[in-house]
Amino acid sequence: TPTVPLSVEYSLTILGETLLQPMKELRQWGRENYTQVVEARVKYDSAYSPGSH
């Protein structure tokens, strides 16, 4: 866009727009499973951190 200062507009392509619904579903999955993900990360980190063996 010919403005001062210069500005740019971005938008998704039609193909990119097809990712919106799967990304929304992934975000929802993350919200629903956040606690379990954190617990799994803590469990993994405690099992595989240096000095844990």
> For residue 41, is it within any domain?
yes
Domain enclosing residue 35, as ranges = 14-48
In a domain, 7, yes or no: no
Average pLDDT over every residue of 34-41? 97
What is the percentage of the chain residues whose pLDDT exceeds 90? Answer: 75
pLDDT of residue 52: 66
Whether residue 4 lies inside any domain: the answer is: no
What is the total count of domains within the chain? 1
Is residue 3 in some structural domain?
A: no
Answer yes or no: is 8 within a domain.
Answer: no
Query: What average pLDDT does range 19-48 have in this prediction?
Result: 97
Q: What is the pLDDT of residues 7-27, one digit of tens each?
A: 989 999 999 999 999 999 999
Does residue 31 sit within a domain? yes
Check residue 21 and report its DSSP letter: H
Residue 24: CB atoms within 10 A of its CB come to 10
Exposure on the CB side of residue 43, measured as CA atoms within 13 A: 6
- Report if residue 2 sits inside a domain: no
Task: Using a cut of 0.85, tell me whether the model's pTM lies above it.
Answer: no
Radius of gyration of the chain (CA): 21
pLDDT of residue 11: 97
Residue 29 lies in a domain: yes
Alpha carbon distance 32, 45 (integer Å): 22
